[in-house]
Amino acid sequence: MMDLLSERLPFYNSIAKITSLADKGEIKMVASGLSYTTINYLLTKIDNVDIVLDKLRKFKIISEVALLDDEIIEKGLNSNFSDFEDAVQYFSALKANCHIIITRNTKEFKESRLPVMTPDEFLASIKKK
């Protein structure tokens, strides 16, 4: 989500293609509520708050929000993940019945029972089908 909304090169193109698939209804994209607050915090340090909120609103139209609740926080705090935020993302994805996690930070998801792919790996995997 950060690469998309910040248009961070060279990573933007791959995530933009995935987002386009979600916009067309070809895939379902889910982001945790934690992602929205984190992205807002980071992007408003480098961009106008109104622009950032507009980007988040547009992203929300084509994606679903995975809930963040007491159970997810508890599981994240007591997991074997080395990074708490990644644990929260993971348990949010599980609760939302996601089938895959797409991130450039794949090394932090060694504990995942879900497949974890980079955006490029995901695009390559769907081309094979």
Quickly count: other Cβ atoms within 10 Å of residue 24's Cβ: 9
pLDDT band at 127 (very low <50, low <70, confident <90, very high): confident
Which CATH number goes with the domain that contains 35? 3.40.50.1010
**Partners of 102 in the β-ladder:** 117
pLDDT digits (tens, 9 = 90+) for 48-104: 999 999 999 999 999 999 999 999 999 999 999 999 999 999 999 999 999 999 999
Structural domain containing residue 63:
2-127
| pTM of the entire predicted model | 0.89
pLDDT at 124: 95
- Rounded to whole angstroms, what are the CA distances from 76 to 36, 38, 122? 18, 17, 25
- Considering its fold, how many domains does the chain have in total? 1
Contact in structure between 104 and 119 (CB atoms under 8 Å): yes
